[in-house]
Structure 1
Amino acid sequence: MITNDSSFQVSTDQSRLDVPMIYRFLSEQSTWAVGISRPVVERAIENSLCFGGYLDGRQIAFARVITDYATFANMVDVFVVPEYRGHGYGKQMIGVVLRHPSLQKLRRFTVNTNNAHSLFERFEFTPLQQPEAWMERYFPNIYLS
């Protein structure tokens, strides 16, 4: 367990994750994974380094990192449930993620966001240095088909 303060705690223990809550948020409330199936969420969790944020034992935040633990990491599915936003829990989560011992000295750590640039800029994330070098296969509505 990684603790930030006396009331908000962050853990990488996957057995503590509230998978139904994570699934509901991603499939119904997120702007990036609406319609995602529960089996896909479960497989993504199983194959990632996951961080649960807990307040009084209840999970209120989540972040997932896809990584090889040597050169590259991509932070995805970062959220705080709506009723707990505005209290700094998202900042605390990101800080814990970036300080995790297994995620140090990586050449590249990425995040993709449509609406939280100022939040991630606080943690030294910047626009791509060479966007012309990046390519992607992107299927934005894959979970809705």
Structure 2
Amino acid sequence: MASYISNPPLLSWRISVPVPPVDGHGPTDANSGTDATATTQPGKQTEHFLCSSDPSLIQLDALHEAMASDLLWWCKPLARTQLVTMVNNSVCLGLYRVATADGDDGSDSNENAREMVGFARLITDRVTFAYLTDVYILPAYQRRGLGAWMMRCMRELCEGSGPEREGSTPASTGWPDLRSLWLIASTKSAARMYMVSLGGEEAARYRPTPGESDSGMILVEMPGPANSIRNHATKNGTAATKAD
């Protein structure tokens, strides 16, 4: 029997968000779980962003710089060959500031027309399980709803989308056999953002301090379409209903 490895479809999403005022009091913080991007008003100055799963768009120098900074405090910078291996062995989303809303300026192919301002990657078999890590938005682009939006793109990548989803690649089947996506959030506000945007729930505390019930980082689970616990509960519920 012949075997082969198929390449997953490359997905992309676009959004335009208001440019924050000079005084820094911009749209609602993404960590609140609210959709600050929904406040865009016609005629108001906006910036345009592309989120893409295309690994060829990832700017390795920008990723290396972020990993070497305090922004990704859990990381250490990698040699370029190791960085390439990490990206190639993961499913990554890059977030880019682009010149136009529709990309007609060639921003998808012209690296000089893009600035990579965010990133997220899944360590995954691309079928049943995924672990989300290395999520960041550059400080200059935080508090604008972009982190929550990137996570909604991630959820759509995993769960699929309808053919008429505005601002995204027309259709995606997702990963129908995904059981769970897991991540560890370092703060309550970050965990809340992930739970709202991914449809996840707190599963446990990671490395809690003994005797302190609310300590430790927060382990969040996004149940997938093939989540065994939910499917088992559904089957039992259906069986009980038929028995009645």
Match of 2:89 among 40, 47, 52: 47
Give yes or no for the alignment of 1:79 onto 2:120.
Answer: no
- Confirm or deny: 8 A CA contact 2:129 2:179 kept in the other structure: yes
2:63 corresponds to: 22
Gap runs ≥5 in structure 2: 1-10, 17-47, 99-113, 161-173, 207-244
Equivalent position amino acid for 1:44 in 2: M
- Confirm or deny: 8 A CA contact 1:27 1:37 kept in the other structure: no
User: Secondary structure of 2:202's partner?
Assistant: coil
2:194 corresponds to: 120
Question: Residues 28 and 4 (structure 1 numbering): CA distance in 2 closer, same or farther, change over 3 Å?
Answer: same
Q: 2: CA distance between counterparts of 1:118 and 1:26?
A: 24
2:221 corresponds to: none
Question: Residues 117 and 21 (structure 1 numbering): CA distance in 2 closer, same or farther, change over 3 Å?
Answer: same
Percent identity at matched positions? Answer: 24
1:34 corresponds to: 76
Q: 1: CA distance between counterparts of 2:81 and 2:184?
A: 23
2:40 corresponds to: none
Q: 1: CA distance between counterparts of 2:179 and 2:204?
A: 13
Give yes or no for the alignment of 1:4 onto 2:14.
Answer: yes
Which is higher, the Rg of structure 1 or of structure 2?
2
What is the deviation of 1:43? 1.7
What is the deviation of 1:79? 0.5
User: Secondary structure of 1:5's partner?
Assistant: strand
Gap runs ≥5 in structure 1: 132-145
Q: 2: CA distance between counterparts of 1:26 and 1:4?
A: 25
- Confirm or deny: 8 A CA contact 2:97 2:116 kept in the other structure: yes
Deviation digits for residues 101-140 of structure 1 (CA, Å, limit 9, x no counterpart):
4444411110112132121121222222698xxxxxxxxx
User: Secondary structure of 2:131's partner?
Assistant: strand
Structure possessing the higher relative contact order (Cα contacts under 8 Å, 6 or more residues apart) = 1
Q: 1: CA distance between counterparts of 2:14 and 2:148?
A: 11
- Confirm or deny: 8 A CA contact 2:15 2:49 kept in the other structure: yes
User: Secondary structure of 2:182's partner?
Assistant: strand
Equivalent position amino acid for 2:186 in 1: N
Q: 1: CA distance between counterparts of 2:177 and 2:156?
A: 11
2:151 corresponds to: 94
State the TM-score, normalizing by the size of structure 1: 0.79
User: Secondary structure of 1:3's partner?
Assistant: strand
What is the deviation of 1:51? 0.6
1:13 corresponds to: 54
Equivalent position amino acid for 2:82 in 1: V
Give yes or no for the alignment of 1:111 onto 2:183.
Answer: yes
What is the deviation of 1:34? 3.3
What is the deviation of 1:35? 4.5
